[in-house]
Amino acid sequence: MEYQDYDAIGLAELVRGGETTPTELLDTAIERIETLNPVINAVNRKMYDEARASIERGLPDGPFTGVPFLLKDLRAAYEGVPTTAGSAFFADKVAPHDSELVSRYRNAGLVIAGKTNTPEFGGAPTTEPSLYGPTRNPWNLEHSSGGSSGGSAAAVAAGIVPAAHGSDGGGSLRIPAACCGVFSLKPTRGRNPAGPDFGEAWNGLSAEHVISRTVRDNAALLDATTGPSPGDPYSVPPSEYSFLASARRPPGPLSVALTTSTAAGSAHRDCVDAVKKTADLLEEMGHRVTEDSPEWDRPTVGAAFRLLIAANVMAGIDEYAEQKGRRPHDHELENVIRVLGGESYDSTSIDMVRATWAMHRAGRAVAPFFQKYDVWLTPTVATPPPPLGLIDMTTEDIDAYLVTVFGFIPFTAIANIAGIPAMSVPIHWNADGLPIGVHFVAGYARDSLLFSLAGQLEAARPWADRRPPIC
């Protein structure tokens, strides 16, 4: 078997058994970066020296000792290395310390070999920053890898690493996972720590976890990182079983709600077809599927969502501007960030409080839906992976940009707004060979239920051995 045939758990087992070494695995990952990255542009910062130094110092004895890993170039702070957030203004923003999550990855034995491409400040569902250029979809190089964790998803799909870090403020783990034919789960709000620099990110909208090829890797990596750190403002009730154990346990018969349309209309036929085929499979497994959808005040919540993200992004820019002693020049910010972020200056502190209230009211509005149903099934995105260039953060037409964005991603943000877990499962490809993800949402703190269902779907329709053409 080849390196890319193993998941992270499998590679760690090889290291523990003495069949390979962390250095050999790192060398293989580096070889794949050097070979494939010129084609897909997934890795925007190579950290080979840092990776070799971590091996030379001696790796912790963790569940993933010696396994190569990548960090998204947003929020994941690695001491002494810039975290650019895909922005020219942040190109020299060197982290003074590790973030808590990165410390936990390192304590788990992972060998961090680089950072992955992201749109500026995670502001788009595609990964095409002006600073580093577009990340190409390994399944079709003319199409988007999704965003904002598109570099991580493309790297995993291409077999550069078996799993990579990402973040998700409106679907940014699940969207690229769907576009690239890999798996990801956005955990419940507070499941992973945001410290030490934040208590929560984007007023609780954003969560961090990983994109992986297999369900068991995703579950075991959450086992390795979950739990509050000192000073966290809140925490999530622990699961009865480990997430890895949950992924190995069939969930039992579930009540599933199904939705394929939004207020703007139905999703693309390929996405609808993927959901309906998944519904048929679920019924074959003994689950009960009913067409239904939760309700919340979409216009009010949409406006609140826009304000909270814009204000958080601009607050980060302002904070770094104070450190640098100057404001960003126009060419250092893409137009969508400059315009939408600038709008937040016209809002008041009262507007921010009311936006937070709207978010929390939406969470309470959808909560009873998950007492009626165990999970909610939708397309992950409303179309197949779009062509590169369709979603352009340099555009002057902000209104058209937003229409295009939310026409592509109408299903994912409610899980961020409500703080509940959601996942994208890669069990369908269309006639053009592009991946079509299906999306599942569960109630608060029911991450384990999603892992159980994902493991069952993975056993019924395995995907890990599917490889894009570049492999």
- Residues assigned a catalytic role: 72, 148, 172
In the DSSP assignment, the letter for residue 127 is -
Backbone angles phi, psi at 221, to 5 degrees: -70, -35
| 142/134 Cα distance (integer angstroms) | 10
* Nearest to 86, CA basis, from 52, 116, 121, 58: 121
Specify whether the backbone of 203 is left (phi greater than 0), alpha (psi in -120 to 50) or beta: left
For residues 294 and 366, the answer to whether their CB atoms sit within 8 Å is yes
For residues 236 and 188, the answer to whether their CB atoms sit within 8 Å is yes
For residues 141 and 393, the answer to whether their CB atoms sit within 8 Å is no
Place of tokens 């921010």: 352
Omega before residue 148 within 30° of 0, cis: yes
Cβ neighbours of 312 (radius 10 Å) = 21
Kind plus residue range of the DSSP H or E element containing 142: strand 140-144
Cβ neighbours of 38 (radius 10 Å) = 8
Half-sphere exposure of 442 toward its Cβ, with a 13 Å CA cutoff?
Answer: 23
* Nearest to 114, CA basis, from 32, 186, 194: 32
| 12/405 Cα distance (integer angstroms) | 39
Omega before residue 196 within 30° of 0, cis: yes
* Nearest to 403, CA basis, from 264, 261, 202, 260: 264
DSSP string, 316-337: HHHHHHHHHTSPPPGGGS-HHH
Segments of 391-469 assigned E as strands? 422-429, 435-442
At a CB cut-off of 8 Å and minimum separation 6, what does 23 contact? 52, 55
Q: Which two tokens stand for residue 64?
A: 């993933």
| 291/252 Cα distance (integer angstroms) | 20
